[in-house]
Amino acid sequence: MAYTESYTCDVCGTNKESEGWWLAWVDCFPGQRPEQDQPLIKLTRWQTYHAHSDGVKHLCGARCAGTMMDRWMTEQHEDPDAHCAT
């Protein structure tokens, strides 16, 4: 019996296998000094190994990736002095 794993999109709640999905996470863009560090968002093709990493968001397609990006950008504009979480 084959084992298949399904995932839930962190934006729209779709639950299905991972074909065509994307992964996203927030990282840190280092400044010249620690107080200049800025959060950044990263997006990459699906990889099952990384899908289980802490902080990684599962996205079912381009529309949900765009929605997540839009939400993240809105948060950044609301707090322009935000720095990386430590």
What's residue 18's pLDDT?
Answer: 64
The strand ranges marked E within the chain are 7-8, 15-16, 22-29, 38-45, 57-59
Question: For residue range 31-45, what is the model confidence (pLDDT) as tens digits?
Answer: 888 878 888 999 999
**Residues 15, 42: Cα–Cα separation, whole Å:** 22
pLDDT score for 31: 83
CA angle 86–29–57, rounded 5-degree value: 75
Taking the C-alpha atoms of residue 65 and residue 70, their distance in angstroms, rounded to an integer, is 9
> Minimal CA–CA distance to 41: which of 13, 8, 7, 74?
74
Residue ranges in the chain modelled with pLDDT below 70: 1-3, 18, 86
Q: pLDDT value at position 5?
A: 76
